[in-house]
Amino acid sequence: MEGLQLFLDNFADWDSFVRIWPLLWQGLQLTVLLSIVTLPIAAAAGLLIAILYSFHHKPLNVALLIWIDLFRSFPVLVLLILIFYGLPFLGLTLPSFAACVLALTLNNSGYYGEIFRAGIEAIPHGQREAARALGLHPLKIIFLVILPQAIARVAAPLASNSLELVKTTSIAALVALPELLRSARVAQEQTYNPTPLTAAAVLFFVMLWPFARWVAKLERDMLKRQR
């Protein structure tokens, strides 16, 4: 009993929590902001890569595949450190928020690009031919015929990747952007106990858990459909 009390006093101390809540709340807002700014940009970049790929122009496709695999191979934190600490040596200094958006976008353009590409490639060629025979404009073929089917097919990896992107925003803490994790570390220096870390972990969990459950369900459904 005493051990449990000691544990709670340290890891879940209510007074500490109340004191540091304003800081955590600011951090949480910044985490959400970083996510909702980056998600659409990265997804659009990936979609653009996939659409360009679908024209099957050989040299272009080689370049696109190199782009995709290069950015899927680069640990995103390494990319962020290069952008934030490396670029200033070339006279280009980005604020930490912009550096994070750029690193996450480059990294995820590879992931989203590969996912959209796989979805588009999985649509039978007859669909494209039929649409062309009906006289549809090439852009209309892509946006009205191919993409709706392709996106439905890769809904699970799309959702999974988006969840990973939101989780990855926490690396912003390492370039001093006061998002949720960073705020918790700063708060910890005021409370001298790990309650802020527990609170940040709980906040991340509460925010992301429903999404994680939904992703898991989409993945299970996909696996079942494909057996």
Q: Name the site residues for other proteins (rule: CB under 8 A).
A: 7, 10-11, 69-70, 72-78, 81-82, 85-86, 89-91, 111, 114-115, 118-119, 121-122, 153-154, 156-157, 160-161, 164, 167-171, 173-174, 181, 185, 188, 193-194, 197-198, 200-201, 204-205, 208-209, 212-213, 216, 219-220, 222-224, 226-227
101 or 173: CB nearest other proteins: 173
Q: CB count, 10 Å around CB of 11?
A: 15
87 to 82, 93, 95: CA distances (angstroms): 7, 6, 11
Residue 193 is which amino acid? N
32 or 197: CB nearest other proteins: 197
- Determine contact, residues 125/184, Cβ cutoff 8 Å: no
Q: Provide the minimum distance between the beta carbon of 118 and other proteins in the complex, in angstroms, as a whole number.
A: 4
Q: Provide the minimum distance between the beta carbon of 89 and other proteins in the complex, in angstroms, as a whole number.
A: 4
23 or 154: CB nearest other proteins: 154
